[in-house]
Amino acid sequence: MNPFSFFCVGRIALSQSGLANTVILNTLLLFCSLLPCGFTACSKEKMDEMVSSVKQQAQTVAEQAKAIAASPALAEIVPATGRSEVQMPTPLSTNAAYFRLYSFEDGRPGVVQFTSYDPEKGPNAYPALLVRANTVATSVSAVAGQTLMGRVFLQAASGSPVLMTPEGALVDVDIAPLNPEIKTINASIGSVTLYDAKGQASTASGIIVEGVQP
Amino acid sequence: MRRVQLGFAIFAMFSTIAIGNPTVQDPTKPLATHNTVPGAAELAKAVYEASMAAEKYVVDCEQAVAKKGGVAIQAKMLAKWKATVNQGIREAERLQIMGEPAAVDILLRNHDLTVRLNYLYVAHNTTPAGQVVGRKALMQFQRQAAAKQKECEKVSAMAALQPEVAEAAADKLSMELDTLVHFVGLQERGPYLPPYYAARAAADAVMTKKRIATARQKFQEAIQANLPDPVALTSWANAAASQLKSTGKATVEGQGDVAGPQVLEELIRRWGVGHGGLQRVQGLRWALRWHSTGSNGYEDSGSVNGDDPTYSEAIAWTDTVLAAMAGLIGADAESIQPAKVAVHHQQYLKQTASMARMGDARKVQTKGNEALAVLLAKNSVYETNVKTYDAATKDLITFQTRWLKDAVSNIPQDFPNADGVVRDRSRAIGGMAGLYAEDPNAPMQATLFHPAHKTMMAIAPKLVGPKVGTSDVLRISPTSKTSAVKFMGRTYATVLAVTIPEPDLQSIKLNLLVDESHPPLSISTAKAIDSVLLGHYSAIGGTIVSAQIEAMITRFVTMSDGMAIVVPRGTVTGSSTDHSMLNQMAVRIDIDPSWVQHDLGIYRIPGK
C-alpha cells in the first residue's frame, strides 16, 4: 500500500469536516511523519504499525476539524459546503454555496451559476444569491480562471425586495483558477450596483462565492 | 354572425348618421346595434335620426322662446315633433323586445324631449294664438269623432289577422292624435280618447307577443349557432389522435394530412372560435334576460337567476380543449421518430406558451408539461438538453418574477387601476350625467341613466388625460397594431402595440440562452420570449387618450373571435343576474403607454 493513500484519506476527512488553518497544519505534520517511510523500504510489520497509528491520528484530526468547524467564526471562513459573502452596509453571508455549469448538446451557449442555495431546491433559502454568466465553455476547467460577463440577483430574506443588476448591464465575474486543494469553484465580483423594483440602488463593494460542484 | 356584421358594415356606409358608439371625439354618435333580430339596425337608425331631428327642433325652439316667448312657436311644427317623439318611444319599446340596448338610449332621449316639449306646449298654449289653436283642435275632435271611432274599431278588428297592418294603422292614428291632443285641455280631450286607446291596445297586444316570440327564436338560434360543442370537439380530437398514433399524421379539413403540431394549431383555432362564441352567447343571454325580468311586464321566459350557465360552459370548453391537447401530443409521441422530437417539441412549446397566455396559465402549463414529458422520453439526448435548459433558466425566471411582483406593487401610486379611475371620473355627481351612481357603495355597474350622448359629453373631458395602469395586455394578432386589455369590471382598453428596442431584446435572449437557431426549451421561457416579441404584457401604464361608451350586450353579441381576447379563455364576463343588462354599459379606453411590463422586466418608453 502506498503511504500517500493515507495522505489522501486525511485530506478527504479534512475537507469533509471543514478546513481550518490548524487542521491544515495537522495534515502537514501527518504528511511529514509519513514521508520517511514513503521513500524508504519498510517492513510489513512496521508498515502495519504506522498504518494503525496514522489511522488513529487521522481520526483525531477529523474530530478536531469537526470541533473547529462547529465554532461559528471558523465555519464562516471556509466551510466545505462552500460559502458566499456580499459586502454591503449590512453584510450578507451564507455557509453554503453551489456552482453549476450548464452546457448543451445543441450548440447553444451555456451558463454558469453560483448560488447560495441548493439549485435543486431553488432560491428558497435566504439570503438568496444568484450570480449567473453565459459562457461557451463546456467544462469546469475551461471556465476556471476566466472573467465572464454576468448578472447578480440577491434577496436578503423571504418577502424582502429582490435586488438585481439591470438587464443588459453586465458585470465582471472573476472565476478563480482551479485549485486541486479545494473542492469549491470560487468567483468574485468587484463593486456592483444592484437595484430594487422601485429603482433604488444599493452598492455591494464586493461579492465572493465559493461554490461546491455537484 | 359574420354575415350580420358584414351586413351591418354595409348598412353603416350608407347611413346618414354616424353609427358606432359615443366617443370623446364624437359624443353624439348613437349606440351601435347588434341586429340579432333582423330589422333592428334599420329601425334603430330611423328612430335615432328622427329623435336627433326632434332634438334639433327643440333646441332651436327653446332658443327662440327664450328671446321672444311662446309666440315664437309654430303650432304645426310643435305638433309634428311631439308626434315624432311619441312614435320614437313606441319604436324604442319594440327595439327593447329585440334586445337592443340602443332602445334604452332612444327612450331616455325621447323622454327628455317629452319633458322639454311639454314646457314648449305650456309656453305656446298660454298665448292668445295658442288658445285659438286649442279651440280649433277641440272642434276638429268633435267634427271627426264618429269617423275616427269607426276607423279605430276597424283597426281593432284587424289586429288578430293582420297585426302588422293594424299596428301601422294604429301608429298613424296615434300620430294624428298627437298632432291635436296636446293643444286641448285634459278634461276636454277626455271623451275622444278611448277609441284611439282601444285600437292601440289591440294592435300592441298581438304585435308585442309576436315580437317577443320572434326575438326569442332569433336569440335561441344565435345561441345555438355560437355555443361550442365539447362533445364534437372531443370526438374530432380523438379521431385525429388515433390517426397520429398510427401514421404520425392526421387529416385536417382544408389542409390534408398534417403532423401533430399542425393538428394542435387547428385545435387552438377551434378553441378560439368556441371562446368567441361563448362571449357572444353571454351577450345573447343577457339580452334574452330582459324578457325574463319581472319589471318589463312580460311573462317569464325562464329565469337565469343563480348560476351563470355560460360560466360553467366556458370552463368545460377549455377543459375539453386542454384534454384534447394532451391527447394529441401524447398520440404524436407514440409514433414519432426520435430525430423529429426536437422539432415537434419546440413547436408544441411555442403553441402551449401562447395557450398559457390566453387562458388559465397554470392549468395549461401543468397539462402541457405532462404531455410534453412523454414526447421528450422518445429522445434521451434531447431530453437531457431540455432538462439542463430548464435548470439553467428557472432561477433567473424566479428572481425576475419576484422582482416584477415588487415592481407591480409599487405601480398603483402613479398609475392607479384603470377601472377605478374610469369609475371615479364617470360618476353622476351633483346632477351631472354619468354612468356610475354618486354613492361609491352602489353596485359598480356602468348604467345608462341619461341619454348616451349627454353622458359622454359630461364625462369625456374627465376621462381623457389621467394616468392609469392595467394588467393582462394581449396583442390582438401578431400583425395587429393594437393590443387589448381584458375587461376589468366594466372597463376594457386598447393600447398601441409597443416595440421593445433591439438591444433590450438581445439581452433578454442572452439571458434565456436563446438565439435564431436555438429557441426556448420550456413553456415559461417560450412564454417570456413571446411576451417580448409579440407584445403580450402582464401590465402596462399610460395615459387615457380617448374613450368610448358601448352597451355591454352589443359589445358581447358582436364580439369577434379576435377581440374575444379581452376575456381570458375558460371564463366569461360575469354580470349580476338580478336585473336586465339592457341598460348596462362598458367603457373602452385607449391608452398611450408610458411603460410595459413583459414577463422578464419593465420597459419604459423614452420620453413618456
Whole-complex ipTM? 0.71
Residue B300: its pLDDT value, please? Answer: 36
**pLDDT over 50 at A1, yes or no:** no
**Residue B539 vs residue A115, higher pLDDT:** A115
**pLDDT over 90 at B376, yes or no:** yes
pLDDT band for B60, please (50, 70, 90 cuts).
very high
Nearest CB neighbour to A168, from listed B395, B396, B504: B504
**pLDDT over 60 at B476, yes or no:** yes
Q: Which residue of B has its CA nearest to A200?
A: B407
Is A16 at the interface with chain B, CB within 8 A?
no
| Contact between residue A151 and residue A171 where contact means Cβ atoms under 8 Å apart | yes
Residues of chain B positioned with their CB less than 8 A from the CB of A100: 391-392
Is A153 at the interface with chain B, CB within 8 A?
yes
pLDDT band for A198, please (50, 70, 90 cuts).
confident
Count how many Cα atoms sit within 13 Å of the Cα of residue B358 in the half-sphere of its side chain.
Answer: 25
Residues of chain B positioned with their CB less than 8 A from the CB of A103: 388
Residue B15: its pLDDT value, please? Answer: 42
DSSP state of B608: -
Nearest CB neighbour to A102, from listed B388, B399, B511: B388
Residue A72: its pLDDT value, please? Answer: 42
Q: How many residues does chain B have?
A: 608
**pLDDT over 90 at B405, yes or no:** no
Residue B110: its pLDDT value, please? Answer: 96
CA-based angle B73:B78:B81, to the nearest 5? Answer: 145
Count how many Cα atoms sit within 13 Å of the Cα of residue A201 in the half-sphere of its side chain.
Answer: 7
CA–CA separation, B451 and B456 (whole Å): 9
Residue type, A156: A
Q: What is the CA radius of gyration of chain A?
A: 21
* Element spanning B179, H or E: helix B163-181
Each residue of B142-180: pLDDT tens digit?
999 999 999 999 999 999 999 999 999 999 999 999 999
Residues of chain B positioned with their CB less than 8 A from the CB of A109: 510, 513, 515
Pick the most confident of A4-8, A156-160, B18-22. Answer: A156-160
Between chains, do B391 and A106 touch, taking CB under 8 Å as contact?
no
Closest CA to B131 of B119, B143, B123: B123
DSSP assignment of B514-576 equals -BTTB---SHHHHHHHHIIIII-EEEEEEEEEEEEEEEHHHHHHT--TTGGGGS-TT------
Is B385 at the interface with chain A, CB within 8 A?
yes
Closest CA to B512 of B410, B389, B424, B604: B389
Residues of chain B positioned with their CB less than 8 A from the CB of A106: 342, 385, 518
| Contact between residue B493 and residue B484 where contact means Cβ atoms under 8 Å apart | yes
The residue behind cell 370537439 is B233
Q: Using CA of residue B502, residue B504, residue B505, residue B507, what is the dihedral sign? A: positive
**pLDDT over 80 at B381, yes or no:** yes
Residue B307: its pLDDT value, please? Answer: 61
Nearest CB neighbour to A134, from listed B407, B510, B517: B510
Is A100 at the interface with chain B, CB within 8 A?
yes
Residue B372: its pLDDT value, please? Answer: 94
Query: From residue B9, how far is each of B12, B32, B454 by CA, in Å?
Result: 5, 11, 25
Look over chain B and give the mean of its residue pLDDT values, rounded to a whole number: 89
| Contact between residue B302 and residue B360 where contact means Cβ atoms under 8 Å apart | no
CA–CA separation, B62 and B69 (whole Å): 9
| Best B404, B406, B409, B596 residue to mutate vs chain A (most A CBs within 10 Å) | B406
Residue B43 is placed in which grid cell? 329601425
Is B601 at the interface with chain A, CB within 8 A?
yes
Residue A95 is placed in which grid cell? 455557509
Q: Which residue of A has its CA nearest to B390?
A: A102
Closest CA to B110 of B160, B49, B34: B49
**pLDDT over 60 at B418, yes or no:** yes
Q: Which residue of A has its CA nearest to B510?
A: A134
Is B511 at the interface with chain A, CB within 8 A?
yes
pTM of the model as a whole? 0.81
pLDDT band for B303, please (50, 70, 90 cuts).
very low
User: At A188, is the secondary structure helix, strand, or coil?
Assistant: strand
pLDDT band for B9, please (50, 70, 90 cuts).
very low
Q: Which residue of B has its CA nearest to A150?
A: B511
Each residue of A44-68: pLDDT tens digit?
555 455 445 545 554 554 454 444 4
Closest CA to B399 of A87, A164, A150: A164
> Is the bond into A3 cis (omega within 30 degrees of 0)?
no
Q: What is the DSSP pairing of strand A192-195 with strand A201-204?
A: antiparallel
Q: Which residue of A has its CA nearest to B507?
A: A168
pLDDT band for B412, please (50, 70, 90 cuts).
low
Residues of chain A positioned with their CB less than 8 A from the CB of B384: 105
Look over chain A and give the mean of its residue pLDDT values, rounded to a whole number: 74
Residue A12 is placed in which grid cell? 478527504
Residue B576: its pLDDT value, please? Answer: 58
CA–CA separation, A55 and A60 (whole Å): 9
CA–CA separation, B435 and B583 (whole Å): 10
Is B16 at the interface with chain A, CB within 8 A?
no
Residue B602: its pLDDT value, please? Answer: 86
Is B381 at the interface with chain A, CB within 8 A?
yes
Q: Residue B295's CB: how many other CB atoms inside 10 A?
A: 8
The angle, 0 to 180 degrees and rounded to 10, between the axes of the packed helices B361-376 and B341-358 is 170
Closest CA to A89 of A209, A197, A202, A201: A202
CA–CA separation, A38 and A8 (whole Å): 13
Residue B586: its pLDDT value, please? Answer: 94
Judged by phi (left if over 0) then psi (alpha if -120 to 50, else beta), residue A148 lies in beta
Q: Between chain A and chain B, how many beta carbons pairs sit less than 8 Å apart? A: 87
Residues of chain A positioned with their CB less than 8 A from the CB of B391: 100, 102, 119
Between chains, do B385 and A130 touch, taking CB under 8 Å as contact?
no
**Residue B410 vs residue B488, higher pLDDT:** B488
Name the minimum distance, in Å, from the CA of B497 to any CA of chain A.
Answer: 22
Those residues with Cβ within 8 angstroms of residue B120's Cβ, 6 or more apart along the chain or in another chain: B58, B61, B62, B65, B73, B78
pLDDT band for B409, please (50, 70, 90 cuts).
confident
Each residue of A92-140: pLDDT tens digit?
999 999 999 999 988 899 999 999 999 999 999 999 999 999 999 999 9
Q: Which residue of B has its CA nearest to A128?
A: B399
Q: What is the DSSP pairing of strand B585-598 with strand B537-551?
A: antiparallel
Residue type, A62: A
Four-point Cα dihedral A103, A104, A107, A110, nearest 10? -30
Name the minimum distance, in Å, from the CA of B595 to any CA of chain A.
Answer: 14
Name the minimum distance, in Å, from the CA of B408 to any CA of chain A.
Answer: 8
Each residue of B234-264: pLDDT tens digit?
999 999 999 999 999 999 999 999 999 999 9
Each residue of B321-368: pLDDT tens digit?
999 999 999 999 999 999 999 999 999 999 999 999 888 888 898 999
Closest CA to B332 of B285, B271, B262, B396: B262
Residues of chain B positioned with their CB less than 8 A from the CB of A108: 389, 513-515, 518
Lowest-pLDDT range of A157-166, B201-210, B548-557, B575-584: B575-584
Those residues with Cβ within 8 angstroms of residue B486's Cβ, 6 or more apart along the chain or in another chain: B471, B472, B474, B492, B565, B566, B567, B568
Q: Which residue of A has its CA nearest to B395?
A: A122
Lowest-pLDDT range of A34-38, B189-193, B221-225, B390-394: A34-38
Q: Residue A78's CB: how many other CB atoms inside 10 A?
A: 21
Q: What is the DSSP pairing of strand B491-496 with strand B585-598?
A: parallel
**pLDDT over 50 at B11, yes or no:** no
**Residue A34 vs residue A52, higher pLDDT:** A52
Between chains, do A106 and B518 touch, taking CB under 8 Å as contact?
yes
Is A168 at the interface with chain B, CB within 8 A?
yes
**Residue B534 vs residue A64, higher pLDDT:** B534
CA–CA separation, B555 and B547 (whole Å): 14
